[in-house]
Amino acid sequence: MATDPSYGRRDFIKDSVRSVAKAAQEFSREADAAPAKGPLPIRMDWLRPPGAVGEGLFLDRCTQCGDCIKACPPGAIVAHSHDATPVLFADRSPCLLCDDFPCIAACATGALLPVGGIADVRMGMAVVSHRLCTAGQGCYACVSKCPTSALAMDLGSLQLTVTAGACVGCGMCEMVCKTVNDHVAIRVTPAGRLAGIDR
């Protein structure tokens, strides 16, 4: 078979590059068209409303009626996208710890039980990432907004501390940190996860 004398090394390289690019485009189209493997991951950083019983019992008692969601004045409680049970996402809208806890009063199934007061709420626990926290550089935004004074600055180590007995897990610190810093340095671990009862 005769070779085209005008077809040189440069033409060969161009054709090779085009061929590789075409193959990559076809692979990309096939990958986009392929069905997703498995369900999308479910967020695990949610909090249950104040007064929530243990996670297993909560799931037995909660009927997904939405009464606590409707009763929440700031609209912080929302229906979980997976099973419609009530949750709060602290970085979006924390619990404001209303004096009369209308969410608890609205629950008729015992999934949310009355609490003696704000100090008795146990939604979770704030955990600080000292690597990301800028408290040592003068940021005290979360400390000033904590409704239970659970956060303090340790002047010796120049690090933020959390008093376990005082933290109720409302998430105010997490939302405040998100609004004033590039990286969220404090997050609330839900009570269910603290107890080792992941869903």
Long-range contacts (CB closer than 8 Å, 24 or more residues apart) made by 55-61: 55/191, 55/192, 55/195, 55/197, 55/199, 56/197, 57/111, 58/85, 58/111, 59/85, 61/109, 61/110, 61/111
Distance CA 56, CA 49 (A): 15
Residue 64: strand, helix, or coil: coil
The DSSP code for 33 is H
Residues in the chain: 199
Cβ count near 194 (within 10 Å)? 14
What is the C-alpha separation between 76 and 92, in angstroms, rounded? 8
- Residue 6: which pLDDT band, with cuts at 50, 70 and 90? low
| Across 33-42, average pLDDT | 49
Please tell me the predicted confidence (pLDDT) of residue 65: 97
Q: Is the pTM of this model over 0.85?
A: no
CA–CA distance, 44 with 63 (Å, rounded to integer)? 20
pLDDT at 31: 47
Give dist(CA 44, CA 107) in Å, integer.
23
Apex CA 166: angle with CA 162 and CA 170, to 5°? 85
29: part of which helix (H) or strand (E)?
Answer: helix 9-33
By three-state DSSP, how is residue 45 classified? Answer: coil
Checking if the pLDDT of 175 tops 70, the result is yes
Question: Quick one: average pLDDT of 41-50?
Answer: 77
Give the angle 69-70-73 at the CA atoms, nearest 5°.
90
Residue 197, pLDDT score: 44
Q: State pLDDT tens for residues 185-197.
A: 999 999 878 765 4
Domain ranges of the chain: 55-194
Mean pLDDT of the 66-92 span: 95
Instruction: State the DSSP code for 162.
Output: E
**For 33-42, 63-72, 186-195, which range has the lowest pLDDT when averaged over its residues?**
33-42
The pLDDT assigned to 13 comes to: 60
Tell me if 190 sits within 8 A of 197, measured CB to CB: no
pLDDT per position as a tens digit, 152-168: 998 888 899 999 999 99
The H or E element spanning position 114 is none
pLDDT exceeding 70 applies to what percent of the chain? Answer: 75
